[in-house]
Amino acid sequence: MTETLINSAKDGIDALPDSAQRVALLLRDHGHAKPVVLLPETGKTSAEAAAGLGCEVAQIAKSILFRRRSDDAPVLVIASGANRVDEKKVEAHVGAIGRADAKFVREKTGYAIGGVCPIGHATKPITLIDADLFTLDSLWAAAGHPHAVFNLSPQELAAMTGAPVVDVALRDA
């Protein structure tokens, strides 16, 4: 990690933006000992987050929200930053989906796009975890704010979300 990261364990949870404070408290309630850190630059994209953290893009556990067409339920896919999500594979698990706009994302998750955390949503989503994340030892996920992230293992991600691990990656034919 770069020297410019702000470490919430050192600086205190109070130094974090409100939405990241909420995530830090949720993580603590889950028994997660690693701190929420703030990136000096935005982590809205996987590439930006990886550059700020000095890690591989694949290690970014990006949260992508869809809208299930049958009932408007939020569908959260937590995917490797290196992967594009194959919507047909997601639909095989949850039914037909559509894109979620910024208003839907904020309303259903309580987070802005670019800061959607895998946990602590306003409306509990149907969640799927990209199986490719389990080829890695260490992941970084958004912590409620476009500059805030936290480190965890794929196993911790699965335990926190209770989500199934499935193949959601778009593969070349």
Average pLDDT over residues 98-123: 96
Domain membership flag for residue 1 = no
Residue 167 sits at the vertex; the CA angle it makes with 163 and 173, to the nearest 5 degrees, is 160
* pLDDT, averaged across the chain: 92
| Domain limits for position 157 | 6-166
**pLDDT band for position 4 (cuts 50, 70, 90):** very low
Q: Copy the structure tokens of residue 75.
A: 């569908």
- The strand pairing partners of 165, in sequence order, are 129
In the chain, the number of structural domains is 1
Give a yes or no: residue 172 inside a domain.
no
Instruction: Give which of 93, 170, 87 is closest to 128, Cα–Cα.
Output: 93
C-alpha–C-alpha distance, residues 103 and 17, integer Å: 20
pLDDT category, 45, cuts 50, 70, 90? Answer: confident
142 inside domain: yes
Does residue 1 carry a pLDDT above 50? no
Please report, for the domain that includes residue 158, its CATH number.
3.90.960.10
Quick: pLDDT tens for 48-94.
Answer: 899 999 999 999 999 999 999 999 999 999 999 999 999 999 999 99
> What's the pTM value of the predicted model, to 2 decimals?
0.91
Only one residue has tokens 């130094």, namely: 15
Given this model, what pLDDT does residue 2 score? 41
